[in-house]
Each structure stands twice: as C-alpha cells, then as structure tokens.
A and B are shown apart, each in its own frame.
Chain A
Amino acid sequence: MAKTDSVIAGQTLKHLLVAQALVLAPLVFHIPYWLSGLAIAVIIWRWVLHRGRGFYPGKVSRTVLALAVTALLLLSFSGRFGMETMISLLAAGFVLKLTELRTRSHVYLLCFLAYFVIGTQLLFYNQLVGMLYSLVCFAAVTATLLVNQVAKAEQDGFQPWPRLMAMLLQAIPIMLVLFLAVPRIGSLWTVPLNNGSGVTGLSDSMSPGDMANLMQSNEVAFRASFRGALPPPQQRYWRALVFDLFDGRRWSQGQLHDVASGRSSIWNEAKGQLERLGDSIEYDIMLEPSSKNWLYGLALADPLAEDIYMSRGFTLFQRRPVSQRKQYTLVSFLQYRAQPDSLSDRERRSALQLPDEGNEQTRSRARQWAAEEPDVQALVDRFLAFVRSRFHYTLQPAVLGQESVDEFLFTTQAGFCEHFAGSFVFFMRAAGVPARVVVGYQGGEVNPHEGYLTVRQLDAHAWAEVWIEGLGWQRIDPTAAVAPQRIDRGVEFSLDDSDAQLLGNAMGRRFALWANWQLQWDALNYRWHRWVMGYDADTQKQFLSKLLGGSASWRSVVAVIAALSLILLLIFVFLFFQRRPPVAVEIKMYQRVCAKLAAAGIPRYDGEGPRKYSERVSRLRPELAEDFTHLSTLIERIRFAGDRSILPEFQQAVRNFLRQLS
C-alpha cells in the first residue's frame, strides 16, 4: 500500500458492490429481513454517492448507525447466540464498512470479509449448486482485488477476467492437492447453527395428524447405498425412535427411551441379549441435517463408527444434534432376536404403561380377547384380521375426540399409520402384552442411476413391537394389514386420488420426464455429497494409503510437497514460456534487409536504431543512401508513430531496395 492512499477507482467500486450483493444474497434467509433491506439500501446509496450525489456520513452518524444496527440485532435475536447471530453480525459489519469506503486500501478489508461471508454461506448451502454459486462469488471478490491494483481502472478500461480465470484455473489443482491431503481434525467447539426450526422431520412425540403433516413434504430425510443387494421393499423399516409413554392422546419417549435426554437409563445394557441371525447387510447412510441427535438404521443395526451408540430400544443416536449432513456406515440383520429371554421390571412396566382411565371400550375388548386367546401371536393375528376386514387407510381421517382409541377402533375405522400403530399398542397393553410404538421411515425410492435408496419425509411411518417370550421384540405393522401396498410400493400407491393430492411430491411422480430429471439431479447431488462432502478423516486415510502405498505420515508430506512443486513448476513454465507473439510483417521485412546488408559487410549492431544504422550505411555506401534512408524513415514511422497506413509504401521500398542490392 502506498503511503498516500489513492481514492478507489470507479471500476473497482462497481466490482466490489456487485460482489457484495452476490455474496450477501444467499444469506437473506438467515439474517433478519430488515438487515437485508439495509444491505440493499447501503449498496445502492454507495453507488449513487459514486455518481456524485449524496455525501459521506460523518464519524458521529456512522457510529450511531453501527450502534443502532447492533442494538436491533440483539433485539432480533433476543439474546440467543448461535451461528445465525454471528453471521448477522458479520453481515452487518460487512455492510456498514461500506459507509466508510473511500480508498484503495479499504477495499482489502471488504474483500477479505467477503471471502469469510462466502464461507458462512456454505454452512447453509452445501449442495452442488451452493458450491457453484460460491465459486461465482469467489471469482467476483477476487476480480475486485485484481481491478483494485490496476491504474486503468480509473478509466473503467480494465478487463480482469482473462487473468482472473488463468489464476483460478492454476489455483484449483493446488487446492485439490491440499483438499485431499491436509489432515482433517475434528470439531473444536460447538456453536449451534440455529437453523433447526425450519427442518421438517420426525419429532420426538406423536399425536394424531403429525405423520400426515410430514407426508406433505417431499424433502429427503436420508439416502442409503448398499454394498450388496437391496433388501426387499417390505423389509425396509428404518428404525429411529421408540415411544413407550402414552398420555391418552400423545405417544412419546419415556425415561428409558428419551435419547435426547442423555440419561444413563437409555443406554443399551442388553447387547448380550441381542441375537443376530441370517446374513448381514452393510450400507452407508447419508443423513440430511435434522438438528436431532437420533439416527436411522435398517431393521436392527449395529453402528461401525465409535461415536454412534445403540439405545435400550435398539435405536441409534449420537451425542450432538446432526447439524451438518452426516455419513455413517451400518451393518444390519433383517432377522434377529432382541431381548428374547427376559425384560427387567422397569422395562416391563414401561411397556405396559397406560393412562389410568379412558378408552374403556378398548380395554374391555382387549381383556375379553386376551382371555379367549392366551397365545400372544394368536391375539395379534386376531387384531390384524379385525383391522384388515373393517378398516380404511386415509390421510384425511375424521378428527378424533377425547377417547381417541375407542373412536378410531369402533367408530371411524379410518386412519393413518400412527392411528393403527397407536391403537394396536394400546390394545396389546390393555391385554397385558408388553408393546411399544416404533417410528421411523418405511420404504425408499431406488435411484436407477446410482442404485441407492432415497428416503423422504413422506416415507415417515409408525409401527409397533410386541414382546414375546423366547422371541423378544417382534415387529408388527398393523398398517401393512390394512394397506399392504403402502409397504410394498410406497405411500403414494396406497392412497386414493384425493389423498394423493396431499403428498409432497404429488406432481413429481406423475410426470415421468420430470421425475427422471429429478432422479438424475438427485443422483448427481448424491455423488457430490458422498465423495466431496463425505470426504472425512477416515476416507482420507483410506484414499491416501491406497494412493501412496502406505499410511505413514512422511509419505503424505513428501507427496504433497512433490505435487505442489510440480504444479507450481508447470504454472511457472506456462507463465514464462508462452508462445511468443507473432512478429509483425514490417519487422520481418526490415530484418531481411538487415541480413542482406550484413552479408554485404555492414551488419547492424545490437541496439542500433534504424536511424543510426541508416546514417552509418549511408556513410559507408553512399550509393544506397537515398533509398535506405527513405526505408528507414518509413519503418521508424510505422514502429514508433504507429502509422500503419504507410505499410504498402514501406513494402514497396523494401522490394526496390532488395532489388537494388542484389
């Protein structure tokens, strides 16, 4: 930076304002709306100011503005402090800095802030599109820095893009080497991302109507790619939570199963009581950020990672909410016996819990059937047969009153998975059979391009488990009894037209072309997340040791240094040995004349100008003087005065002279 700092050039300002608008645009949904408005106003104001209207605010008004914005921010977030608060503060500083932008050196700070804001964009938008957009922003900010260095920018006459593109293209291979090889260290501190509120997904309780709401969302919950063959559709039960507490209307997690609580009672002490039968299925799950701490696994899954735990209810969870897309590997067994031998008193109590009163009709019917069918399996079959014969599966059930189970089982007899599962568990408990509700997802759409399963919110499902001595917890899905196609083919094939309208992807699956395009796009994103976003410490270790033939750290250090040196060398060669520009025609002709004269004994010295040379030639060969002086004058005019109109005259003079010389 020069000691005396010069005023920012118009072209630099233009680039800066555009870059700033681009960088801030995606944050609109994450900062308060008034701040976005302020940003737009300030950017426009700064441009108007540049055009010669308006005035710079004084120090006092700038300070007042900054204090006002800070106060408003604190008010907007009302004391909550998370990532969004920090980003809003950052954005506010970024915008307000513009009010004191005057000189070239101010541009640096703004551009560096812009780079940082690009980083925060990517916290929220980490899909492929997000990355491409952030690259555009990155280029715009870098262009601003570039323009800022060029004197011509004052006359608006600089074209930054060729140089910029060259630099970015050269930087990308270096970036890739660093990306692949620089070790990944885990999280250092925790600041919640505040964006939990907007996420749709399973909640930690279930009352009538919750699931039907979820059906209206086409958002992806997670994707699963299997190492071997896909499990058949009717086996695709993705277990998430166990609900064992019923208050008469709402099912929720009791003390034994509340995985968000962090209580020691949720830990699975019964690992020894789990018998895994049949073949194992290994698969990777890529979970979308859910802001919840539970995870999904097929049937009954064993985690392979150290930071994933199995709960007492054989569900999976981790300690922290999933705030970023998460990838993990599981091994599942479709056949298993979970706790076949015994339940502890506490577990049995929780699996038989019922409200003290209410739904008396169901209770008496359950007692009656239990007396008639002493065998649990027979009781279950009888209930399912009852459901199959009378019930109707719909997304728009009648509203249930206080005695919801009674009304559903004996009056409306139409409902959705949560009604079927909840009523079934209530009935079984009333009959004295330990039972519980399990929620998660059921199904998944196979992506024909990549072969993975996409599980969306509309695949949310609730089913039940009963405990049978010797067999352990058995999955019973009463919904399958009333709507088997729900399980085999997916929810959209099990509903009539008026219900199907409610589904989140109502349009998507009806138009084949659109659906196919969606699948391809999804496949592309999946690959992106799997290979780019999912490149974590483990993948890195595997990749590097495969590539370098060993996992010793010196190997990667040497490899990185070698790769970087090679790339830099190539860039260096590219920069300094670019093809020489073609020599102008007049220079070629003049050189021919000089060569001829050299052959005649009067070589042109290094650095001897045309005039000096012609004087010398005239002295030594007076007979050539007139023509050669003329020729020399012409070349001087062409080269130094840039007068190319006399080129034909010069060519004629050269021809004449050569003829004369030979």
Chain B
Amino acid sequence: MLAKFNDLKAFFWRVTEKRSPRAQQVTLAHRSIYVLPSKAGLGFALVAVLLWLLGTNYENNLILGVSFLLFALFLVSVLHAYRNLAGVRLRALSAPPGFAGEHIELPVELSSASGGVHLQLQYLDAVALRCDLDKHRPHTLKIPLFAERRGWLTPGRLLVKSYYPLGITRVWSWVFLNTQVLIYPQPKAAVLQQPAYKGDSGESGDRVRADDDFMGFSRYQAGAPLSQIAWKLYARGAGLQLKEFGAEQRQGVWLDFAALSGTVEERLSGLCYLALHWQTKGRDFGLRMPGVLIEPGSGDSHLHEVLKALALFEGGVDRGQDR
C-alpha cells in the first residue's frame, strides 16, 4: 500500500519536473503554475454561503448581493492570483561553496516585468521567505539549504507560492533550478597516522602529530584537537593549555590520504580539517590522494583547489537532494 503510494508520489514528481524543466533561469508560465483555494479560501466560501442563507431567509436582496459579491471576488481573485505569479523569473546566482553538515545560502534572483508581485519562496520544509517585486527591480533571496554530503549539491524543487491577493487562493509552482553548489567535506579533527615530516614533538610514541616544532603554550580554545592539549600541564593543575607548534614557514606539509585511518569519508573529513588548519596557520600544504596530487602551496585559491578535490573525490557528485 505504502509502496504504491510512494510510486504514485514519484510519478507525480516526475510529471511535475517534466512540466517545469531545469534551467539556470526559469520564467513561470501556465504550464507550471497551479491554483487552488487555500484553507482560508474555504472559510471565505463558507461566509459567502452563510450570507446567502441569511439573505435568502430574510428575503433581503442586499445581503444576497454581499454574498454574490464575495463569490465574484473569489473568481476574480483566482485570476489575480495567477497573474501574480505568471511571468516571474527566477535565476540562480552562483553560491559560494560550503561544508557538509552546515546550512548554506543559495541566492536566487527574482524579477518580474509587470511588477506588483507578492510571493513567498520556500525550500522543502524551511521557513517561507516573503518578498515583493517591483517592476524591473530584481530582488535576491537567499534560500537556506542544508548540505548533507560533500560533492555537488543540486537543490531540489523550490516552491514558489503566493496567497496574494486576498489569501483565499493558493497559487504555486515548483521550480527546479539548474545550479549546483560545491560542498566540501565536513571538517573533523584528525591526526595523521604517520609523520609527514620527521620532528619529535615529544608526544606519546606511536601517535605522532603531523605538526612542527614545539613553540610554547596558549590558552585552550573550544574545538582544539585533544592531542594538542598539554596534558602534563593540566595534571599539574595549570588548566587546559594548548601546545603551540612552530608557525615558521619552512617546508610544505603533505596531507596524505594514506596517512589517515578510517573510512573514506572520515579520512576526507580529516584532510579537510587539516587543510583548513594549515591555511589558518599560514603553512604551505599539499594533497596526496589516490589519483590526485596537488603540490604544496597556500592562498585561498589553493585551499579551494584542495577542498574541491576532497569534495569530488570518488563519486562525490551529489545526485541532488531528496525529494
């Protein structure tokens, strides 16, 4: 039974998607605009019926007139509701990359040639964003998306809806914007299994940090890896202190896929963390992964290159969000 229902649902969305094709820029037209009375619209109709009963019972033509005016307004409202959405253009603007497990914002530019448009944009079950469109003045809304996995995130259907003009009609359209957002792996603190460089940090023998020479101590900051905490100082009652390691630029660090343990995703998360770590430390770093080799370097574009390689490693291409 449930399976049948799900089949039906899938079929419905296939048809819907066919009716509103994916594109970078979508103009809403009759093929993809749907109009139905809203919940409030049913209440409105009920008032009209009650007034009709009142007018009929007291044989009062004016009350009947009000009732008929409500019905007429309902019909007119449907046309105005349709006109409100028809011709609205949505264009996906490029979104900056984000990290898996975080909310990212997808900017969508809305515009209308006729103006006087009032609509709401909603993604999945998120809060609907309201906006008014004036003539020839594009309006950009930032839709919050949750990035579940690394890779290319293709947003699913966007719901463009409106209860304009009177709240008694619901006019809506599903829009599939042909855009993708690069999602980096979720950074997770990790240590390299093998030292990338020789250099004793004086820590417990088999777990050698991939860090550089010891430089001193600093106050503990939330989120710092446990291995960086000076446990000996802590034992002496000096509070949590972090061991600072040499920030001096000497040689590049290699982020090696093979030097981490765990599943592919865990390793990618670890590499992502380390890349960010070294970026903030200002150290050069390179990436070594099966089939990928990026020479050590620094700077934002280098970081992006590394993170992108991590994001897209082995089938990191997202097939889109769940419908």
Residue of B with least CB distance to A173? B72
Question: Which B residues are in CB contact (< 8 Å) with A534?
Answer: 61
A568 at the interface (CB under 8 A from B): yes
In whole Å, how far is A624's beta carbon from the nearest beta carbon of chain B? Answer: 29
Q: In the bound complex, do residue A324 and residue B60 qualify as a contact, i.e. CB atoms below 8 Å apart?
A: yes
A119-B55, A119-B63, A151-B118 as given contacts; A112 in contact with B76, CB under 8 Å: no
Neighbouring B residues of A386 by C-beta, 8 Å: none
Indicate if B53 sits at the interface (CB-CB under 8 A): yes
Q: Is the CB of A575 within 8 A of B51?
A: no
Contacting pair B67 A188 (CB below 8 A): no
A585 within 8 A of partner (CB): no
Chain A stretch 413-433: residues in CB contact (< 8 A) with chain B: none
Q: Is A149's CB under 8 angstroms from B167's CB?
A: yes
Within 8 A of A (CB), among B118-134: 118, 120, 122, 125, 127-128, 130-132
A581 and B163 alpha carbons, distance in the complex (Å): 26
Contact B66 A108 (CB under 8 A): no
Please classify the interface of chain B as helix (H, G, I), strand (E, B), loop, or mixed, using the class held by over half of its residues.
helix
Inside 8 A of B128's CB, which chain A residues have their CB?
A: 2-3
Residue from the list B47, B58, B130 in contact with A187, Cβ < 8 A:
B58
Task: Give every chain B residue within 8 A of A535 (Cβ-Cβ).
Answer: 61
Q: A429: shortest Cβ distance to chain B, in Å?
A: 42
B77 at interface, CB cutoff 8 A: yes
Chain A residues with Cβ below 8 Å from B72 are 171-175, 178
Given contact pairs A115-B51, A575-B83, A187 touches B62 in the complex (Cβ within 8 A): no
Which among B67, B79, B116 is the interface contact of A572 at CB below 8 angstroms? B79
- The reply to whether A146 and B165 contact each other, CB–CB distance below 8 Å, is yes
Contact status A3-B118, CB under 8 Å: no
Q: From residue A612, how far is it (CB to closest CB) to chain B in Å?
A: 15
Q: A130: nearest residue on chain B (CB-CB)?
A: B62
Our pick among B46, B47, B73, B135 for the contact of A171 (Cβ within 8 Å) is B73
B68: CB under 8 A from chain A? yes
B47→A112 contact, CB < 8 A? yes
Interface size on A, residues (CB 8 A): 66
Q: State whether A1 and B50 are in contact (beta carbons under 8 Å apart), knowing that A115-B70, A150-B164, A167-B76 are contacts in the complex.
A: no
Collect the chain A residues with CB atoms within 8 Å of residue B46's CB: 112
Instruction: Judge whether B54 is part of the interface by a CB distance below 8 angstroms.
Output: yes
How many whole Å from A71's CB to the nearest CB in chain B? 26
A145 CA to B166 CA, complexed, in Å:
5
Task: Tell me if A4 is interfacial: C-beta within 8 Å of chain B.
Answer: yes
CA distance A191 to B61 in the complex (A): 17
Q: Would you call A167 and B57 a contact (CB within 8 A)?
A: no
Closest to A166 in B: B80
Interface assignment of A216: CB less than 8 Å from any CB of chain B: no
Residues of chain B contacted by A1 (CB below 8 angstroms): 38-40, 163, 167
**Is A365 in contact with chain B by the CB < 8 A criterion?**
no
Contact of B66 among A6, A134, A564 (CB under 8 A): A134
- Which A residues touch B114, using CB under 8 A? 578
A167 touches B58 (CB 8 A): no
Which chain B residue shows the least CB distance to A640?
B138
B77 to chain A, nearest CB (A): 7
Contact B66 A171 (CB under 8 A): no
Give chain A residues whose Cβ lies under 8 Å from the Cβ of B55.
Answer: 119
Expressed in whole angstroms, the Cα–Cα distance for A171 and B77 within the complex equals 9
A122 touches B40 (CB 8 A): no
B56 at interface, CB cutoff 8 A:
yes
A residues in contact with B8, CB < 8 Å: none
**In-complex Cβ contact of A3 among B64, B125, B135 (8 A):** B125
CA distance A263 to B225 in the complex (A): 102
B207: min CB distance to chain A, Å: 48
B116 closest partner in A (C-beta): A163
Per-residue CB contact flags for chain B residues 9-49 toward chain A (1 = under 8 Å, else 0) read 00000000000000000000000000000111001101100
Min CB gap B147→A, angstroms:
22
* Residue of B39, B116, B167 with most partner-chain A CB within 10 A: B167
Residue A152 is within 8 A (CB to CB) of chain B in the complex: yes
14 inter-chain pairs at a CB distance below 8 angstroms, sorted by A residue, are A108-B43, A122-B66, A123-B54, A130-B62, A149-B165, A163-B80, A171-B72, A172-B72, A173-B72, A179-B64, A185-B56, A191-B57, A534-B61, A576-B83
* Smallest CB-CB A-B distances: 10 pairs: A174-B72, A171-B72, A151-B130, A178-B68, A122-B62, A175-B72, A108-B40, A145-B166, A119-B51, A149-B164
Q: Identify the A interface with B (CB < 8 A).
A: 1-4, 6, 105, 107-109, 112, 115-116, 118-120, 122-123, 126, 130-131, 134, 138, 142, 145-146, 148-152, 158, 163, 167-168, 170-175, 178-179, 182, 184-189, 191, 193, 323-324, 532-536, 564, 568, 571-572, 575-576, 578, 581
- 9 additional A-B pairs beyond A122-B66, A170-B76, A533-B60, beta carbons within 8 Å, are A2-B120, A2-B127, A116-B47, A119-B51, A119-B66, A148-B167, A175-B71, A188-B53, A324-B58
- Where the two chains meet, the residues of B that have a C-beta atom closer than 8 Å to any C-beta of A are 38-40, 43-44, 46-47, 50-51, 53-73, 75-77, 79-80, 83, 86, 114, 116, 118, 120, 122, 125, 127-128, 130-132, 135, 162-168
